[in-house]
Chain A
Amino acid sequence: MGDAPIRVEGLTKHYRGRWGRRVEALRNLTLSVEPGEIFGLLGPNGSGKTTTLKLLTGLLRPTSGRAWMLGKPAGDPQVRSRIGFLPEESYFYRFLTAAETLDFFGRLFGLGVTERRRRADALLEEFGLAEARHRAVGTFSKGMARRLGLASTLLNDPELVLLDEPTSGLDPMGTREVKDLILRLKARGKTVLVCSHLLADIERICDRIAILAGGSLRILGRVSDLLARRDAVQMTVRGLGEGALDALRAQARALGGEVLSVEPPRDRLEDLFLSVVRGPSAGGKSS
């Protein structure tokens, strides 16, 4: 206890909808994220991922349950200086330029002039905004704004990083960069909690995942454990004709195996995800 950078106990959030209707966005979520790991929070649209992150960062108050970040109750303003949070959508002051925006946040985080400049320059370079540094943020494309959002998330060199759909709006190159970035953060000993629907990426980088559906936790565990099927192997072969495949099948049977499937390779996580999410009572719920 106390060690886990993120600890969530029985977290529940009901939104007050129109006409007194309540939306049950998150139901009794309990989990913890260990130091130095990359934790993936998955789930279909409307399953409560963003709600979870907003509860963690104190943008929302829970209906019941509690959450701690870095040992402090969620929403503690002081803890925010040690956390990097990329919201689902990044909003900036339209009339400030990219450089001024980072400078503004650097000031809020209490960084000195030289430190502010150094980090802003490095981050603008890293996220491919060096050219656009003196352009007003209001003129940025969605992807550029996302890149600026990532840059401002890392500005305070946070020990804990929360990313809500970090690749949304990014081109394939940007998506790749984000993946590399998350791995680099881990290598530097940071803890990362990432929400994403890009399962292939999550599969490769996350240590553990949780899958939410309809506001409740469906599955939680190490990616390797969840995806391992002890009695089956998958062989990915290239350049075999139809005849050769038949011979292979016969060979497998001759050796006492049972051929379960022969198909082009797929993301294994995608299969898991679909089977978990399509289980009973999947999808958004309101009551």
Chain B
Amino acid sequence: MRGFYVLVRRELMAYFLGPSAYLFLAGFLAVQGYWCCYLLDIARDPVRGGLDNFFEGYVSGFLPVFMLLMVPVITMRLLAEEKRAGTLETLATAPIGDATIVLAKFSSAFLFYVFLFAMTFSHVATYIDHIVTPTWKILGWTPPYGFLGAMLAWGCLASAAWALGRFSDRDAVWGMVATAAFAACVALLILYVKKAPEGMPDITKIAAGYVGALLLGATLLSVGLLFSALAQNQVTAAILSGSGLGVYLLLSALAGQSRAKIPWTENTRWAEKTWGDVLGYVSMFQRPQAFNAGQVQLDSLLLALSVIAFFLFATVKAVESRKWR
């Protein structure tokens, strides 16, 4: 697993050393921020509003479109670029197996995705600042929670970038600083939510929403990784995974829509089910909403994990297939 850590580190460096990650992040936060403001307006509306609606909309409502745009961009480089540049061959001469390489690629993409999502804590803090009248004061002073949340999120970004930015043997320290900043950010939110008076959403709901979003992300990233392993270059990889996920999204949108019965199931316990139901079972996009209801459901968890395992396995096979030319 030594090789795994080294590879993940290099991969994250590749994300953060170039300008692309920051452009990406800025774009993501801008769009997410706009979405947040839009939802804030709804949440303030006493008729349509309500906190549950906000979180349902915030964490997962925007997610399908977001994933469709993000996943191809996050994953396209991973293996396609290494293949094109020949560095995959260089790696293959080092004492690490193909499975380790694939796992490291997946983990780095996932970490980057988690990192993006962690940035949205700043928006959650902004929301709390706007909607809930805080009673949790420090020496009679109400801290500007939205601002603090945003600062902490950006602090995470800065320290993580710094930690990864240079090869230095003190980077373990910076990694810990980044983790501590992140933990502080989460702790502040939790503390605040716990202390807050009326109208605060259930903290477990927020957490479950995030778990659902991360699971969905991990699943789709594993799909994108496979396309990156199959494609000849990153553009092809992005187009392939973009259209693949697009079709999947479309099918998911049809879930619950199609009333057509499944013909060959008359005498089975599936007799009452429609095609829409079937699509509903395999639709990952419906799952985060379910998570938002406040529970981490076992079947969703198993579905996600088995899909991830399958696609990672397929990716390892795709990488190995180069040896059989």
Contacts and interface: CB of A to CB of B under 8 A. Distances in A.
Interface string A109-129: 110010000000000000000
Contact of A81 (B85, B95, B167): B95
Contacts of A93: 10, 14, 85, 87
B10 A104 contact: yes
A271 interface: no
A90 interface: yes
Interface string B71-107: 0000000000000011101101111110000000000
B46 interface: no
B94 A108 contact: yes
Interface stretch (A55-63, A196-204, A218-226): A55-63
B324 interface: yes
B27 interface: no
Contact of B92 (A59, A79, A94, A113): A59
Contact of A59 (B3, B14, B93, B97): B93
What is the interface of chain B mostly: helix, strand, loop, or mixed? helix
A234 to B, nearest CB: 42
Nearest to A91: B86
Among B89, B92, B93, B169, chain A packs the most CB atoms within 10 A around the CB of B93
Given A57-B93, A81-B95, A93-B87, A100 B323 contact: no
B140 interface: no
B269 interface: no
A103 interface: yes
Nearest to A75: B323
Given A58-B323, A61-B323, A61-B324, A87 B87 contact: no
A16 interface: yes
B48 interface: no
A60 B97 CA distance: 14
A249 interface: no
A108 B96 contact: yes
A91 B87 contact: yes
How many interface residues does chain B have, given as a range?
Answer: 20 to 34
Given A93-B87, A95-B18, A85 B93 contact: yes
B2 interface: yes
Contact of A87 (B14, B89, B169): B89
Nearest to A80: B95
A91 B85 contact: yes
A21 interface: no
B325 interface: yes
B169 A100 contact: no
Contacts of B3: 108
B6 interface: yes
Contacts of B17: 95
Contacts of A110: 2, 95
Interface string B175-187: 0000000000000
Contacts of A109: 94-95
A90 B90 contact: yes
A95 B14 contact: yes
Among B3, B92, B95, chain A packs the most CB atoms within 10 A around the CB of B95
Contacts of B323: 58-61, 75
Contacts of A75: 323
A77 B89 contact: no
B96 A103 contact: no
Given A91-B86, A103-B167, A108-B3, A77 B95 contact: yes
A26 to B, nearest CB: 13
A100 B167 contact: yes
Contacts of A140: none
B120 to A, nearest CB: 29
A58 B92 contact: yes
Contacts of A15: 325
Nearest to B17: A95
B85 A80 contact: no
B99 to A, nearest CB: 10
B325 to A, nearest CB: 6
Contacts of A268: none
Contacts of B169: 113
Contacts of B93: 57, 59, 80, 85, 87
Interface string B119-155: 0000000000000000000000000000000000000
A16 B86 contact: no
Contacts of B85: 91, 93-94
A78 interface: yes
A107 interface: yes
B325 A105 contact: no
Nearest to B90: A91
B296 to A, nearest CB: 36
A75 B94 CA distance: 11
Nearest to B10: A104
Given A87-B89, A87-B90, A91-B85, A77 B96 contact: yes
B10 A59 contact: no
Nearest to A23: B325
8 contacts: A59-B89, A75-B323, A85-B93, A87-B89, A93-B10, A95-B17, A108-B7, A108-B95
CB-based closest 10 A-B pairs = A91-B86, A81-B95, A80-B95, A107-B6, A108-B94, A61-B323, A85-B93, A77-B97, A91-B87, A91-B90
Interface of A: 15-16, 57-61, 75, 77-81, 85, 87, 89-95, 100, 103-105, 107-110, 113
